[in-house]
Structure 1
Amino acid sequence: MALIITDECINCDVCEPECPNEAISQGEEIYIINPALCTECVGHYDVPQCVEVCPVDCISSDPNMVESKEQLQEKYHALMGKQ
């Protein structure tokens, strides 16, 4: 699954620089995650780095973007230009 930032976000700015895929950006009110770029850090780390650093635990799985670990791995390879 891609991740989503809930409205509990306090705009602390710690998640954005931690994302290896640059999937996190400032939205109109809170940070947002681009599901096309989010691999939950599969291919980079064992756990999503944004979740690890979030001080208010406002990042969770997006129920509208259900993806398996294999699909996330495939997305990682596509984003990195690997086959």
Structure 2
Amino acid sequence: MNYNTNISFPEEIVLSLRESSENIIKDMKRTVAVKYYKEKKLSLGQCSELAEMSKEDFIQLLASYKISIFNFTDDNELLEDIKNA
């Protein structure tokens, strides 16, 4: 099930950006998805769904923001994972 809501913003914004309202909304969804992933509020799958992207494409989007999907708290944890690979 989808939840729908309306967002209003001044027409000047659309004119200044020279983007369609659909593209602005798409960018907003992606920006919010990146924010929620970075803050660990939603999972990778949930964020890719929110952004309306495949997981692979969302991972690439995260990379463009220099956000890693690998979360190691210290070097020992990373070394342990490498050792077990």
TM-score under structure 2 length normalisation: 0.26
Which structure has greater helix proportion?
A: 2
Higher strand share: 1
Higher relative contact order (CA 8 A, sep 6+): 1
Larger radius of gyration: 2
TM-score (norm 1): 0.26
